[in-house]
Structure 1
Amino acid sequence: MDSIWKKMNHNPEKLAFSGHIQTEAAVIGGGMAGILTAFFLQEAGVKTILLEAGHIGEGQTGNTTAKITAQHGLLFDGLTASQGAQRAALYAKANQAGVEEYRRLVKQMDITCDWQDTFSCVYSTRDRELMEKEALAAAALGLPAEFITETELPFAVEGGVRLENCACFSPLDFLYALAETLTIYENSEVKKVEEKVITTAGGEVTAEHIIFAGHFPFLNKPGYYFARMYQERSYCLALSGAGSMKGMYYGVEEEDFSFRGLSHKGRELVLMGGCNHRTGGNEGGRYDRLRAASRRFWPECAEAAAWSAQDCMTLDGIPYIGRYSSQTPEWYVATGFGKWGMSHSMVSALLLTDLITGKENPYEELFTPARLGWNGAVNLAKQAGCSLKGFMGKRNATAGEYLEDLEPGEGHLVEYGKGKIGAYRDEEGSLHLVTARCPHLGCELTWNPDEKSWDCPCHGSRFDYEGRVLDGPAQEGIGLVWES
């Protein structure tokens, strides 16, 4: 399923990398974080190339709802309590600066990208006091925030926190405009990185500075990011016939939704998202829930697009931006953006550019990947427990434990010899059998019925029903055992 942005945009394919070259900086990953980092490095006079495994913007940047804001859900009351007011204020200031930098680039480069200056609002349908506390915490950090009880949403809320000076846009229009100024190689998957040498199928790049901006770092060590993050999936609809919406909204209860408007070439759409779950934990019905809710809110609405996204979640809710590890001082990383990739991408690009060019940056210590702390240690243990559970898998195969039990359109783990395999019967009745273990670290995969994919509950790798990689950190597909 393609996002509304992918339906609206097409970018000419760029050449794949081949040969052997030297450069000052090499960025791995052609999403918003990678493109922005390459752009600012080039602006700073650093010779930079970018390597993208597929096509630029086709990953998480192409699946975002593209909200640019420092209000990242129900955040500032908890962040102040866990990190202290000073660090919470730095987080807010860094992301507010990111909004302004996007605004500056759009104006300076005259980029046509459906840019809209607007406000964001986190809301609760149940808990007024929770929202009042969040409004006080945000205002105490110097943010232009206020508590409200009235919104333009098609239902009542107990309270919300409205934050001014935010924006939204069409992300691929913006990304493609910046990409025109850069040296980019597509279809150039990085196979390995050793010291200053990046190896692709087409050749090698030697770089003084290497930036990992490909969503989830594919190298297990150093850094051990697979042990310090997990991934979540969320689902989105683009709706016509739902009127227009001026602001951007994010609900704090599990059953609540996020919303934003999109005005494109005279067409008004509402983007509605939600139904989140940890990757590997979808038993189905996520799109159905979204569609049912959209019909309750707007009975006459029609679906223009439906898609999903995957987000990297850190142990303390703050991204990892900075030096990759103490063992690799010339490697850098930007990952763990949660559900707020647009603002964090800009924060990453500005921070990494300063690190590489030797400038001081006031946010370096806040975002450093070297941090852990007590809360991080506790969450690390929880993450290890989830990974162990995923590795062990279920004692028995799930519902369809025999191939003959599979109905068209169904997928399950099934008994096969002394183990299990993944089996999917397509709508025409053909069987697709794959190995049931993730090649990343061997965890048992689960079937995602909404997206017809095999998902890893440990670290979030995903594969289509024929075994091809959809999402990392896995670099290899799962084996196709048999196909009828």
Structure 2
Amino acid sequence: MDSSTDKIKSSSITSGDTVSFWIDTTSIISYNKPDQDVNTEVLIIGGGIAGLTTAYKLLQAGKKVVLVEDGFIGSGETGRTTAHLTCALDDRYYFLEETFGADATKLVAESHKAAIDEIEQIITTLNIDCSFKRVNGYLFLDPTDKEENLDKEFQATQKAGIATSILQGTPAVANGENQRCLVFNDQAQFHILHYLKGLAEAVIALGGIIYTEANAREITKKGAKVNGFTFSADQIVVATNSPINDTLTMHTKQHAYRTYVIGGKIPKGQLPYSLWWDTGNQESKWVSQPYHYVRLEEYDEHYDILISGGEDHKTGQEDEENISQMERYERLEAWTRNYFPMLEDDLTYRWSGQVMEPVDSLGFMGKNPGDDNIYIITGDSGNGMTHATIGAMIISDSINGSKNKWEDLYSPSRITLKTTGDFIKEAGNMASQYLDWIKGSDLKNTADLPAGEGGIISSGLKKIAVYRDYNNTLKAFSAVCPHLGCIVQWNSNEKSFDCPCHGSRFDTEGTVINGPSQDDLPKIHIK
């Protein structure tokens, strides 16, 4: 392992300006950069939970595997999760049953339970110290939701074969005595980056090769260009949260959302290790109705850390609700303190992450549409840890020549006609973002731009993304996303330029940090 941290870009450590609890409590997991052409059986692009789990399973089956990661291990969205391991999905089971039918919904439940078991087995086999615990999960109603929907979800989960029950109060929640909830037994939690560290070490021990700070471009059925070197492979797995080898197909089926997280200390013993979720805002303008999700994690001998998330919006579109990123953290904190008043005054962490929401609620894991040897894992929704693990199980089976029983359910080529209404609504939202070409800019004059801030300015027919660094140097790029031509928006929380159409993100150097774009924002010289 190459542990050198000289001249490491912050965007290589994590895909944003904020730092998650997981990244803050784990040393950088880095390996060598590419220095030659490579030929292998399987090339895996992406060093998060999806890529590493796939690599581990294929190496166990005797395949030759090379994994490349643009930043460091876990520096993408895996390192910005809240790491719930659950079969309680962020879309209701009664919705899945109406959409896919009872038999398919049973398979959904089975696959997520199997993913938790798979993670537990890997942890046990490799003896990974990552605070894995089996815990209960509690789903309670958002004030905008109806009591009958909790009972409806109970019936649907029972039918799907999940161990659930109804309680008349929600455990450990302030004033929760009369807050009915649905209990999901035998769920789990862990420290995601400690898990990835153990997985990465196992990949190397099994003869796999990992490259970090290894940027893959020009992905074809023959392989990819990685830092200018030719990486050839028989099979290619793109495990990058959002596919970077696809122009449009997958991006009409899923949409990028930003979600916000806070973490604060509470004295040890005040709360049981558990998972809590509300059912989401039924009156939200977003197709993916934002919900809150909470869990506890070990911090030190005196404190645990309470990790709470929510307040989602479509990437690059927080202005649609006139709620700034800081206001979203404030709302999340107020919501959290209402239910968990033992949270200490000063928050230790604030971060955000990017979630790909499929229109029909299920992830896309398998062969990329139109390709025989390129596989993708995407559409994690709010269940990235289990979705990614399911994807690794499906793809490793497929590459090893066996048919996985969940393969058709999660096929990236599927078309779900019963979600046409949501599809049209999301497509309309995406199309409306091109109006940014004719809208006024958010910034009138670069002289108004303080250090550490960015914005979009108009120059004739051009849209220019500008950022003033802390040395007072002005940097400028084309504001046109190289993917499909939307105008990027400034994200003041993560110090990035985010595309409101398909979720591509770029750092303050114009360098792409989230796909689907494969290209950086072109630099512009301005006076």
TM-score bracket, shorter-length normalisation: over 0.9
Return the offset for 1:377. Answer: 4.8
Partner of residue 71 from structure 2, selected from 32, 49, 54? 54
SS at match of 2:372: strand
TM-score by length of 1: 0.93
Q: Which amino acid aligns with 2:328?
A: R
Match runs of 1:234-245 below 5 Å: 234-241=259-266, 243-245=270-272
Aligned to 1:251: 278
Alignment equivalent of 1:216, drawn from 234, 242, 262: 242
| Structure 1 residue 84, shift from structure 2 partner | 0.6
User: Relative to 1, partners in 2 of residues 1:436 and 1:92: Cα closer, same or farther, differing over 3 Å?
Assistant: same
Contact kept in structure 2, 1:125 and 1:159, CA below 8 Å: no
Match of 2:156 among 131, 137, 140: 137
Corresponding letter in the other structure for 2:181 = G
Cα distance change on mapping 1:167 and 1:434 into 2, 3 Å: same
Q: 1:159 to 1:112 in 2, by over 3 A?
A: same
Alpha-carbon displacement from aligned partner over 1:254-310 (angstroms, at most 9, x marks no partner): 375211000144331100111101101123122232234445534633322211110
- Identify the residue that residue 302 of structure 1 maps to in structure 2: 346
Q: Sort the Cα spacing of 1:12 and 1:362 in 2 relative to 1 into closer, same or farther, 3 A.
A: closer
Instruction: Report which stretch shifted further, 433-442 or 378-387.
Output: 378-387
Q: Matches of 2:442 and 2:59 in 1, distance apart?
A: 54
Tell me the amino acid that sits aligned with residue 224 of structure 1: T
Distance (Å, rounded) in 2 between the aligned partners of 1:70 and 1:313: 17
Secondary structure of 2:481's counterpart equals coil
Once the two structures are TM-superposed, the CA of residue 72 in structure 1 deviates from its matched residue by: 1.1
User: Contact conserved, 1:397 with 1:413, CA < 8 A, in 2?
Assistant: no
- Seen in structure 2, the aligned counterparts of structure 1 residues 225 and 347 have a Cα distance that, compared at 3 Å, is same
**Equivalent residue of 2:518, what SS?**
coil
1:387 and 1:403 map into 2 onto residues whose CA distance is 28
Shift of 1:178: 1.2
Q: Which of 109, 131, 137 lines up with 1:114 in the alignment?
A: 131
Q: Which stretch of the first structure deviates more once superposed, 58-67 or 177-186?
A: 177-186
Aligned to 1:261: 296
Which residue among 25, 42, 49 is the counterpart of 2:59?
42
Aligned partner of residue 364 in structure 1, secondary structure: coil
Alignment of 1:297-336 (within 5 A): 297-298=341-342, 300-325=344-369, 327-336=370-379
Q: Cα–Cα, structure 1 residues 293 and 75, in superposed 2: closer, same or farther, change >3 Å? A: closer
CA drift of 1:430 comes to 5.6
Give distance in 1, aligned partners of 2:63 and 2:343. Answer: 54
Task: Compute the displacement of 1:11 (Å).
Answer: 3.7
Aligned to 1:162: 183
Q: 2:332 is matched by which residue type in structure 1?
A: L
1:278 to 314, 334, 342: 314
Map 1:2-41 → 2, pairs under 5 A: 2-41=19-58
Match of 1:191 in 2: 217
Q: Deviations over 1:59-118 (max 9, x none)?
A: 111111111111112420111111110001100001101111111121222110011110
Please tell me whether the aligned partners of residues 244 and 270 of structure 1 are also in contact (alpha carbons under 8 angstroms): no
Q: CA deviation at 1:337?
A: 0.8
Distance 2:36 2:45 in 1: 17
Alpha carbons of structure 1 residues 147 and 220: separation in structure 2 relative to 1, 3 Å: same
Task: Note the C-alpha offset of 1:416.
Answer: 1.7
CA distance in 2, matches of 1:288, 1:451: 16
Structure 1 counterpart of 2:251, one-letter code: F
2:285 maps to what in 1?
none
Post-superposition offset of 1:329: 1.0
Contact preservation (8 Å) 1:38, 1:50: yes
Query: Which of these residues, 484, 487, 507, is aligned with residue 464 of structure 1?
Result: 507
Aligned to 1:205: 231
| Structure 2: distance between partners of 1:406 and 1:7 | 30
Aligned to 1:439: 482
Residue type at the aligned position of 1:246: Y
| Aligned-partner Cα distance in 2 for 1:148–1:394 | 52
Deviation at 1:465, TM superposition (A): 3.6
The answer to whether the 8 Å contact 2:463/2:480 transfers is no
| 2:306 and 2:343 in contact (8 A); partners too | no
Question: Which of 119, 122, 126 in structure 2 is aligned with 1:102?
Answer: 119
Aligned to 2:14: none
Contact 1:4–1:305 (Cα < 8 Å) also in 2? yes
Structure 1 residues 119 and 195: alpha-carbon distance in aligned structure 2, compared to 1, 3 A threshold: same
- Looking at secondary structure, tell me which structure has more strand per residue: 1
Q: Distance in 1 between matches of 2:135 and 2:393?
A: 23
CA deviation after TM superposition for structure 1 residue 429, in Å: 6.2
What 5-or-longer segments of structure 2 have no aligned partner? 1-17, 204-208, 282-289
Distance in 1, matches of 2:150 and 2:314, equals 25
Is the 2:437–2:463 Cα contact (8 Å) retained in structure 1? no
Q: 1:124 is matched by which residue type in structure 2? A: L
* Between 82-91 and 227-236, the greater mean CA deviation after superposition: 227-236
Offset, 1:424: 4.5
User: Following the alignment from structure 1 to structure 2, what is the Cα–Cα distance between the partners of residues 330 and 155?
Assistant: 54
Q: In the aligned structure 2, how far is the partner of 1:409 from the partner of 1:159?
A: 46
Deviation digits for residues 10-32 of structure 1 (CA, Å, limit 9, x no counterpart): 14420122323322211111100
1:346 aligned residue = 389
Deviation at 1:446, TM superposition (A): 1.9
Match of 1:80 in 2: 97
Write the distance in 1 (CA, Å) between the matches of 2:81 and 2:68: 21
2:382, 2:356 → 1: CA distance?
A: 8
Equivalent residue number for residue 225 of structure 1: 250
Q: CA deviation at 1:364?
A: 1.1
CA 1:155 to 1:275, structure 2 compared with 1: closer, same or farther past 3 Å?
A: farther
- 1:289 matched to 2:350: no
SS of the residue 1:438 aligns to: coil
Q: CA deviation at 1:428?
A: 7.5
Q: Distance in 2 between matches of 1:322 and 1:299?
A: 42
| Aligned alpha-carbon RMSD (Å) | 2.3
- The 3-state SS of whatever aligns with 2:23 is helix
- Structure 1 gaps of 5+ residues are none
For residue 473 of structure 1, report the CA deviation from its aligned partner: 1.3
Taking structure 2 as the reference length, the TM-score comes to: 0.86
Provide the C-alpha distance between the structure 1 equivalents of 2:111 and 2:411, rounded to a whole number of angstroms.
14
AA aligned opposite 1:139: Q
- Choose which of 191, 196, 205 in structure 2 pairs with 1:175: 196
Matches within 5 A, 1:442-457: 442-457=485-500
CA–CA distance in structure 2, aligned partners of residues 426 and 274 of structure 1: 30
**Given the superposition, is the C-alpha separation of residues 65 and 36 from structure 1 closer, same or farther in structure 2, using an over 3 Å criterion?**
same
Structure 2 residue 402 is the aligned partner of structure 1 residue 359: yes
* 1:199-218: CA deviation from partner (whole Å, max 9, x where unpaired): 21242222221111111111
Q: Percent identity?
A: 28
